[in-house]
Every structure is written in structure tokens, then in C-alpha cells.
Amino acid sequence: MDDYQRVAEIIKEKQYLVAFTGAGISVDSGIPAFRGGQGLWEKYDPMEYAHIRAFTNNPEKVWIMLREMSKVIFESGPSPAHLALATLEQKGYLKSVITQNVDGLHHVAGNSDVIEYHGNHRWLTCLNCSRRVLLTPQMIELLPYPRCEKCNRALKPDVVFFGEGIPMIAMLRANEEANRCGVMFIIGTSGVVYPAAEIPYVAKSKGATIVEINVESTPFTSSITDHFFTGTASDVLPKILEHL
């Protein structure tokens, strides 16, 4: 029995599978990780462009970065890994996806229960009246920025900026799923961004089997991971699926 088959057997036995995903799963979708060489943070200083104070002080400047990011997201599509997770849900194994990504690609792929820990860039929100509006390609082009129809203020992508808290509902649901799952996939995340990185530790403490898929080892690997696959999730997940 190879590792793919072994992990598939564990999933069948334990039933309740939850995936915890990060930037790595979207690299094959054409979205570079923020922190990598091609990442937005190489070009834009996050404190100058991604801090909530930067947005409230100068939304016009911050929208220069947001416009670029919005285009990247609109041009992207689900990777084989996103699609494999959607298939795992259809087959009844995968119950939810907890993601740190803001690209909305798990929804696009077809997963129905996606817990967006850092929000979703495809939605805009008004900091004044809390109105939420779906971002369209036309709105990206509005200068100096898209505005709230009701209060005329700059709309902000419904993502967690530096200096903002994690949405309470996402924290509660992520914790609930981590407590409940029998198997947790860690996919494409380095485990250095807190509090998100605590989630797999919660799952492990409640007895879940931890299956990690990453291109290199992480702080999870030596501490809580039971089965480690080196590589991208687009390579690994379809091979696990073959046995399910």
C-alpha cells in the first residue's frame, strides 16, 4: 500500500475531513503568494498599502494596489487542487474548507462550506454603513475608487487588513470544524500567520489525523503532521482521489 492509498483508507475510516488551505493552493491558479518573489508585498509595502489606517487615510493610493490584485483574481480560475477538493465534497468526505486565501476560488470550484478566515476579495464593504456589494470588473476601473451608493465613501474589499480582527463567525466556525474533524488536510501554507496557524493544532489535540501537502516542510511538519506529501496539491490530491 502506498502513501496515497494509506491516506485514502484513513479518510474512509474517519469520514469527517476538513481542509485548511493557504496561498500555495492558488499558485497554480496564477495568484502568486503575497510573500514570495512574485508577491504583491515585494512591490507594495504592506504597512503602506494593506493596513486599515492606510486605507482610511488614503483610499485612492491603496486602491492602486487593490485594482492590480482584483485583476489578478478575476483572471484566475480554480487549480486542479481546488477542483479535487470540490470532488472530495461531492463524494461526501470533505465537510468544509477553512482558507486563509481571499481569492474566492474554493467557491468558484464548487465547495459549499468555505470558511474564509481572512475574508473574500470578490466582495466590497462600506466601513460606514456595512453595506456589501459584489465586485465586478467594471467597478475595478472606477477612479479614484468604487464608492458606496448610500454614503459615497470608498468601498473596501471585504478582506482582513493589517490592524483588523478576524471575523468572529469565521473564528468560531473554524474552531468548531477543527474540534470535530477526523482528518485535517494542511495545504499550501507555511503556518506562520497567526491566529490562523493555530487551527491544525486544535484539530490534532482533538485526535484528528493531520495530512500535510506542501512543497517544503513547515513548523507543522515536525510537530503535528502524521503524513507529509512533498509537492503541490494539484499533483498530490488527484492521486489520493484515485483511491476514494
Q: Which residues bind Zn ion (CB under 5 A)?
A: 126, 128-129, 131, 148, 150-151
DSSP state of 209: E
| CA–CA dist 117, 158 (Å, integer) | 11
Establish how many alpha carbons lie within 13 A of residue 48's alpha carbon, considering only the half-sphere containing its beta carbon.
Answer: 9
Distance CA 95, CA 81 (A): 16
3-state secondary structure of 58: coil
Q: 129 or 172: whose CB is closer to Zn ion?
A: 129
Q: Give the nearest distance from C-beta 161 to Zn ion in angstroms.
A: 17
Active site residue 243: no
The minimum distance between CB 1 and Zn ion, in angstroms, equals: 57
Choice between 124 and 211, CB closer to Zn ion: 124
Catalytic residue among 107, 118, 227, 243: 118
Determine the Cα–Cα distance for residues 31 and 137; give it in Å rounded to an integer: 17
Q: Of 150, 80, 134, 140, which is closest to residue 109 (Cα–Cα)? A: 80
Minimum distance from residue 129 beta carbon to Zn ion (Å)? 3
Q: Identify which of residues 57 and 128 has a Cβ nearer to Zn ion in the complex.
A: 128
Closest CB to Zn ion among 72 and 133?
133
Torsion of CA 187, 189, 192, 196, to 10 degrees: -60
Please report the sign of the dihedral spanned by the C-alpha atoms of residue 32, residue 102, residue 75, residue 68: negative
Angle between helices 233-241 and 80-90 in degrees, nearest 10: 30
Work out how close the CB of 133 gets to Zn ion at its nearest, in angstroms, rounded to a whole number. Answer: 9
| Integer angstrom CA distances of residue 63 from 54, 121, 141 | 10, 12, 10
Side-chain half-sphere CA neighbours of 22 within 13 A: 24
Where do the H-state alpha helices sit in 76-160? 80-90, 105-109, 137-140
> Please, what is the minimum distance in Å from the beta carbon of residue 153 to Zn ion?
5
**Residue 156 or residue 204: which is nearer to Zn ion going by CB?**
156
Catalytic residues: 118
